[in-house]
Structure 1
Amino acid sequence: MVRERGEKVIATNRRARHDFNLEKSYEAGLVLTGTEVKSLRHGRANLTDGYAFVKDGEAFLDAVHIPEYSQGHWTNHSAKRVRKLLLHREEIARLGHAVAAGGYTIVPLRLYFKDGRAKVEIALAKGKREYDKRQTLRERQDTREAERAMRLRNRMGE
């Protein structure tokens, strides 16, 4: 049997980049059941409300919605169960200390398959205030308008 190669992105959390200032990101493995893997292979997942937490020296991912597998039966999983993350002990300790110190949270950024294994990219993040969000949107809009003006000016000069 030929093994999968490369990366196949299943879901991204674009809202996390809007709501949080991302400090450092980590790649973590996921402990999944068979029907969860099958559902993910169909490209179905939602990271929007998801978050991670550290408890007793272990990291967990919560509120990530992986819908039930349509052809599963009594072995099917619950859609929003808590899933264990596979990280190095030092990474878990670093994340746990940052969250315990306050002001930080752990958010999932993307869920993907890497060489056939399910992975999640998580980030240590600090929440943005409302005015920070508005400022970010304003900056993005200003750069877009400047690029548009440059394009028009270059087009007129030709």
Structure 2
Amino acid sequence: MLSRQQLSEQEPVGLLIGSARRRIKQAVGHRLRGHGLTPQQFWVLINVGEREGLALRELAERLRLDHPTTSRIVSLLRRRKLIRMGGHPGDRRRCCLGLTATGRELVGELRPLAREVREAVVQGMSAADQERLRRLLRQVMANMERFESAAPAPPEENVS
């Protein structure tokens, strides 16, 4: 029988990353009860509040979300009158995101939670450990991008 240490040394890194992501999402979701927001909606609001005037593409990059997901979340938050979308003064093709008065009020209430989550994720880690973790996670993402792009395209189904 393997010891706990041996099991942990053999545990796949991808499994740990997925589990950590789920735990963060669950913890944030638990703390958001009563606000009617999902964790993704919460982080979109927080990021728009931190950087008023962000373009949709910039928001997607900051949150590492794909464009359709970001667009869907922003549309929902616009319908709830928490986010507004306006034109960029120098580029009519570019839309800028901002908070409505209601959104600003809600972000004011939620900003401490965002700070607490960010602190809790790295609790007990030195600044050097945090930077090393960021570097390693970026490496994992780059590895997976290369892995995905190297995969042969799946065969097309022949529909007769």
Q: Name the TM-score class by shorter chain.
A: under 0.3
Per the normalisation by structure 1, the TM-score is: 0.27
Higher RCO (CA < 8 A, seq sep 6+): 1
Per the normalisation by structure 2, the TM-score is: 0.27
Higher helix share: 2
Higher strand share: 1
